[in-house]
Structure formats: structure tokens, C-alpha cells
Amino acid sequence: MLILGSDSSSSMPILQADTYRVTVLARVKGDGLYQLLRPNSTFNEVLVSGVNVTFVLKTSSPLFAPSQQGAAAESQGTAPPYQTPVEYSLVGPFLVKTSRGEILEVSIRSESTPSVELLEAKVGNGARAMINGEELLGSWYDGLDGWVFPLNWINPGEPSVVLIHKNNTISSFSGILHASANEVDFSLDSGPYREVHLRVLEGSVELEAKGNTIPNVELTEKLPVGEFFGIYISGQDSLLISEAYLGRLSYTLITPERCESCIVGEFGFERDPNFKLNAELEVPKEAIGGSAVLMRVSSGPDIGNMTLYLPGEKVLLLENMGFPYEIELALPLTNLDVMEDIYLTVHSTEGLYGLKKALKILRSYEIRMLNRTPIFLIGGKGDIHISAINLGDGTISLLEARVNLTTKKGEVLSLKFPLSVDLQGNRSQRIVLPLNLPVGDYKATLLVSLVDQSGETHWFNLGEMSIVSTNEDPLNALLAISPDMPNIGDNVTLKVSFTNMVPLERVLIGVNVTGGLEPISDTSKLLKEIPEGSTRELTFQFRAKEVGPAKLTVILYYVIEGGGSERSYIKELKIPIGGVSGRASIEVTKTEVEVGEKFSVKIRVEDVSGNVTVEFPAKMIILEAKGRIKGNKVEYMAPGEIEVMGLFKEEGAYTIPTYVSVNGSLLIPSNTVTIKAVGKGGWDVVEKSLRSKLADLKRRYRTLKEASGNLGPLAVEKLNSLEKMLDEAKKLIDETEYERASELLSK
């Protein structure tokens, strides 16, 4: 297998690759001045000082005097007259004018050419030319192969010399400095040189010109794939290397499967399974994408240039310098395990040869959506959850996520979420994208942009999904307790019944207890995969252990099918716990009465002795009771049963009794009764009942009054008090103070 420059006429596969040429500039060993392996007219040496590198041009050129014929032409007026012999030397880009061993002028080659018209010239003799509108004389210099026309100049940068070659090409120079010394030093602000030293020595001019110093040059034992300038250390060798980008080029891939014997371009190829290539390519069997992998390329002395095709569509052009190359390549990112081929093509004295190695690149990251479709948005709100895992060594950055939505009507909208997440190697992160959409059904795609460690941006499609935005509550729960008013020592059952309006992935039901209840069963239960519209009923058991108020808090933690954030539903139930071990029961004649209509309530208290207080609703008027009436309360002694006559003065549903206590401690009855008062009724019914009772008491009073002659003084005093109480009751009835009147008449 080999690759070579693309041939458009070939039927072989064409590969595209970013191409880099590796050039060994010099062999270096510590600080010092070293020859460039490929010197040119600009630089031929390099100076190494620590981690600083300076390119240098060191050269010399002889001084040239005008020809004798040119000198003879002075007397004929065809050459400029000189008082003393003038010599020129063209050394590098500098034209140096000297006389008697001293530098008089230094000029530098200029890109700007003046207006020149050669009027008269003969090789070996002087010449006349019109330069910038002025007729000037020039002398012939054999060593410069042309006529030199000196110009009058004062300031640096002005035209100083025009050199017309015998082929009529023109070289122009600009002045740098005037001098009168055998050596000069000067600096330049532009061009390849920063510092220049010139010296006249034994008929020649020596030049040492230094370029700008390159500071902090990198030292490495691993050659990167990319633009690079630095010192590469390979074993005992230290080499100054430049790696330059040549562009994205095309290559022809030639494989045995396609070429048992073929011609591609100017080359003929044949497969030889017994041939052993005098070059080696060492690569690991596998590596994680996004990480750096080390490869080694070595070759024998008969090998010349080498072409290395690498994963990520990169090519290195190498030259055999007698040392192995340790190459470090940052593998491309991948979300799948892939096999990549690496091709090495070598140019040897025998021809072109190639080999192939395989490298398995393991997935370097994983970006996936955690939700399952469809995703439900309750009240239009919900979340998309993304998991990002970096399995490689380098850092990857997540810049943006996009959710592209399409409604049932075909309307398209896009939601953008800036992320700015930097994920170090071997790290993971959960990312939440909050959604808020109008009610409706949507088809959606999720895209995430990722920047790898090389700075390249990649977009990844995490797939399609359905989104359902609804304004319904996702679930509703009902709580029921039995008994609803427990006494101490009772077992209490809590029933939790809930209905879900959307499919649920899971629900965790937990019950928290405060007050006088203790759990005697599990207080949490987990349900999974509950279809839409389901109703579930769960029971929890408790025991009443302390008198007083208790509270059950039921929390349902649920996740809607499709994933997303966990939500919660909370409901509370307050429970009074009685502290008496006796029993109380309630019995009524009617459960529905009209406002003002009389009804009877029987209360029985057993298995306990003491003073019983029964409280009734505030809107109930107690008319009669076999016990002591105090407002809306009746007191009597237990054990025993009493009957209470009463009525309601307003519409409503009333629970009887409100509470029962024995000797001041709460007794929870085994049952309660709800009586519904309906109809407008009226206070006239109440008033009629009270006046009837008042009339009955007055008749009894009169009977006692008539028999008072036979009674003692104490009895007479009590009759007088009764008379006053009856008069007060009549007054209260007249003033519509019916409740106070009823209480007074019940004494």
C-alpha cells in the first residue's frame, strides 16, 4: 500500500489530506554556530544560544575595479572621472563601495527601479545613460558583469547606484550609510537582517548578517503533526526542524486489491509478497480518540523521502536523515470505535514502496440524551437531560445545544442553549436543557456542538424525539385514614390512592410521621412503569402511641416517562389522638334536617368513669339535654347515655360531636355523624320552640307558686329566683338572643 501525488487519470481512490513538510535545517549540539544543511542566499548558518535561535549569513565577495578600457574611457568623456581607484563588491544583497581599503558607501538591493534609458554602451568600456531625466556616465566592471552608475545621495533610502547588466537588465540599490573605515556595523528595521557587519580584508569584503532572534524555541523528543519550529532530540542527535503547512493536497491510494500489476502516472507497480521494505513503521494497536499517540518511523540508508498518511486526514512529508522520527499525533475524536489505516510510502534507490498499518481508535467521548421519547412537559415546562463523557486525555468543550422543533401544522422553530462546558479528560457531566413550550405535540431533533483539543468544531445529532406539552396536572392523590380519630393504642391504616394522567417512569411514595404515631410497616414504596390513566392504591400501617395532634406527610417523587427531572407531589393529613381507653359512640335520629328543625342525638360513653364533656358545632342550638348545658357543650357523668335535643340555625354540613373529653382528656369516639342542614328554615321556628318551652316552665312555676304556702322560706326564695330567670329568658327571646335564652332555659 502506498500513496503518491494525485493522478487525475487514475482509477485508484483519491485521498485528501492536510499536508506538512518536515525539513531538517541543521544538526546542533548545545550553544554555538552551525552550518545549515540547506544554505541559501539569505542564510547559511544558525546561531543557537540556550532556547534562542538566530539565522546568520556569513559570506565574502571580492572587490572589483573598473576595467582598463573603462578607465581609458574617462579621458574620452564616456566614463566618470575618478581621482582615486574605486572598487565595488556585491556581497549578499549589499553593494559595498571602497577605495584604498576603506568602505566609502554601503547600499542594499532595492525593489524600486528608477527610470533608465541606456544611450551608449560597449562591453569593457564606459557608458552613457539617462537616469531619472539626468544623463550620467558609468564604468564597466567585469566582476559585476555590467556598468555601474553612481548617483548622488545624502539620506539613507535614497537611490544610490544603478547597475545595468550587459543583457540590459537593471539592478538598483538604495543607500544605507556613508563611511570611511575598513569595517562598519549597522542595523536594519526591515528585511531579513537585523544586525550587519562588513569588513574589507585583502581584496574582498566579508559579511556577517544576523536575522531577528527567535526566542523560546521548543525542545521536544516527539515531533508533532502540525506547524512547528524547534529543536528535535532523537537519541544523541539534536536537530533544528521546521514543519510547514503546504495546504490540503490530493493523493492516489494504491493497494494490492486494486493493483496486482498496474501503471499510475509515470510509475509501474507490481505486487511482491516476498519483498521486505528497509523501513519500519511502529504504531500501537489501539488508542482512545482525542488522545495523543506515539509512532516511530525509521529507515535504512537506501531510503530517501518518505510520505506518511495519518488518521484525521493528515500527511507528513519526511526526509531520511539517518535517525528515527518519533511522531506524536493527536487522534481525531470519535463517538464510535473505528479502524484507521496508516500508510507509509518510501522513495528508495530501487523505486517506490509502501506499507500499511492498522490502528483501532476507541471512542473518545459519549454524548447522549438521557430522556426517552416521548418527553412530557407538564404545564408546558420540562427538561432535556444530556450526558457528556470525555474518555480521552485532552479537553473537549461543549459550546451549544439546539432543539429544532416541528409542530403538527408544520411550523418550525429552533431553541438555542449556550453551554460553555469545558470537560477535562476522563470526566463526565450532566447537562440540563430547560424547555417551556405552548401546549401541543412536537417532533424534535437535538444537536450539540463540540470543540476538540485542536480547536475544530463538530456538530452531533443526538437523534429525533417526540415532545408532548400539556397543561394537565400529572397526578392526583387521595388520602384516607382508618379510624379517622384514633385513641391511644389503636392501629391506624393510611390508604394512598393516586391517579396519573401521563405515563410515569417511576414513583417513590414516602410517608413522614410527626406527633404521636409510629410506623409498624414500611414507610416508602417504589412503583415503576405506570401507564397513563392508571389508579394505584397503597396502604401503610401505624400505631397511636401518644395523645395529641399527629400529622402524616405523603410525598410522591415521580419521573415522567421519557426521563427528565424528578418532580414531587405533597399532601398532608392531620390526625388527633385521644388519651382515654374508654369507648364513645354517637347515634342520631336524622342525618338531614331543615334549618330550625329539631333532632335528637344520643351519646353513650362506656368503660370509663368521670365527668364527660361533649362539644357540638357552634351553629347548633341545644334545646334540651339530660345534663348540664354550657353554650354548645353538654356535661354529664360517665358511664352512661344522654339524649340531646337541638337544631341548626344555618345551612351546612356539621360533624357531631366536635370532641368528647373525659376528666379533661380527649376521647376519640368510635364514630362521628355528619348532619346536613338544608332549606332556609327561619328563626321563627327557633323562637316558637323557645316560647313553647318558656310557657311550659311558667305553667310549672305557677303550680309551685300556688303550693308555696306550705313551703319553707328557702323554697320561696328559689321560686323568686326562678321567676326572675323566666322573665330574663322572655326578654332574651324578645331581643332574638335565642342561644342565650336556650342556655338559660336549660338550667
**The pLDDT of residue 382:** 85
Residues 640 and 595 in one domain: yes
Residue 526 has pLDDT above 50, yes or no: yes
**The pLDDT of residue 71:** 46
Q: To the nearest whole number, what is the mean pLDDT of the chain?
A: 86
List CB contacts of 546: < 8 A, sequence separation 6 or more.
488, 515, 516, 577
Residues 384 and 449 in one domain: yes
CATH of the domain at 24: 2.60.40.2470
- The stretch 79-85 carries a mean pLDDT of 56
Residues 735 and 632 in one domain: no
Residue 537 has pLDDT above 90, yes or no: yes
Residues 666 and 535 in one domain: no
Residues 542 and 657 in one domain: no
Residue where a domain stops, chosen among 329, 362, 395: 362
Question: DSSP secondary structure string, 599-627?
Answer: EEEEEEEEEEEEEEEEE--TTEEEEEESS
Euclidean distance between CA atoms 612 and 582, whole angstroms: 11
Percentage of the chain exceeding pLDDT 90: 43
CATH of the domain at 558: 2.60.40.10
Question: DSSP secondary structure string, 306-371?
Answer: EEEEETTTEEEEEE--SS-EEEEEEPPP-SS-EEEEEEEEEEETTEEEEEEEEEEEE--EEEEE--
Tell which wins on pLDDT, 32 or 375: 32
Question: Which helix or strand (DSSP H or E) is residue 724 part of?
Answer: helix 713-734
Tell which wins on pLDDT, 107 or 745: 107
Euclidean distance between CA atoms 477 and 537, whole angstroms: 10
CA-angle at 107, arms to 131 and 172, nearest 5°: 35
Report how far apart, in Å, the C-alpha atoms of 367 and of each of 143, 165, 420, 556 are.
73, 70, 15, 31
C-alpha cell at 115: 527610470
- CA dihedral 370→374→377→383, nearest 10 degrees, is 10
Question: Phi and psi of 316, rounded to 5°?
Answer: -110, 130
Strand 52-62 and strand 102-110: the pairing is unpaired
Tell which wins on pLDDT, 394 or 651: 651
CATH of the domain at 671: 2.60.40.680
Q: What's the domain count of the chain?
A: 6
Counting DSSP H helices and E strands in the chain, the numbers are 4, 57
**The pLDDT of residue 353:** 81
pTM reported for the whole predicted model: 0.57
C-alpha cell at 680: 332556609
Residues 309 and 183 in one domain: no
Question: Which helix or strand (DSSP H or E) is residue 104 part of?
Answer: strand 102-110
Residue 66 DSSP one-character state? P
Confidence of residue 13 (pLDDT cuts 50, 70, 90): confident
Q: Which residues of 613-624 are buried (b: 16+ CB within 10 A; e: fewer)?
A: bbbbbeebbbbb
List CB contacts of 67: < 8 A, sequence separation 6 or more.
124, 125, 139, 140, 141, 142
In contact, 495 and 525? CB cutoff 8 Å: no
| CA 242 centroid distance within chain | 37
Euclidean distance between CA atoms 414 and 404, whole angstroms: 4
- The stretch 75-83 carries a mean pLDDT of 47
Question: Phi and psi of 97, rounded to 5°?
Answer: -105, 125
Euclidean distance between CA atoms 654 and 617, whole angstroms: 7
pLDDT digits (tens, 9 = 90+) for 410-419: 999 999 999 9
Crossing angle (nearest 10°) for helices 683-706 and 713-734 = 160
Amino acid at 353: Y
**The pLDDT of residue 729:** 77
Residues 311 and 434 in one domain: no
Residue where a domain stops, chosen among 577, 605, 633: 577
Q: Which domain holds residue 382?
A: 365-470
List CB contacts of 209: < 8 A, sequence separation 6 or more.
56, 57, 92, 192, 193, 195, 196, 197
Residue 474 has pLDDT above 90, yes or no: no
Strand 87-91 and strand 94-99: the pairing is antiparallel
Question: Which helix or strand (DSSP H or E) is residue 145 part of?
Answer: none
Residues 594 and 572 in one domain: no
In contact, 48 and 28? CB cutoff 8 Å: yes
In contact, 337 and 331? CB cutoff 8 Å: no
Residue where a domain stops, chosen among 438, 470, 502: 470
Tell which wins on pLDDT, 395 or 162: 162
Confidence of residue 79 (pLDDT cuts 50, 70, 90): very low
Confidence of residue 516 (pLDDT cuts 50, 70, 90): confident
Residues 495 and 532 in one domain: yes
Euclidean distance between the first and final Cα of the chain, in Å? 119
pLDDT digits (tens, 9 = 90+) for 638-679: 888 999 998 888 888 888 887 788 877 777 676 788 999 988
In contact, 48 and 31? CB cutoff 8 Å: yes
Which has the closest alpha carbon to 48: 66, 36, 38? 36
Confidence of residue 737 (pLDDT cuts 50, 70, 90): confident
Residues 203 and 60 in one domain: yes
Residues 725 and 651 in one domain: no
Q: What is the 3-state secondary structure (H, E, C) of 437-482?
A: CCCEEEEEEEEEEEECCCCCEEEEEEEEEEEEEECCCCEEEEEEEE
Least confident residue range of 94-108, 620-634, 676-690, 723-737? 676-690
Residues 573 and 588 in one domain: no
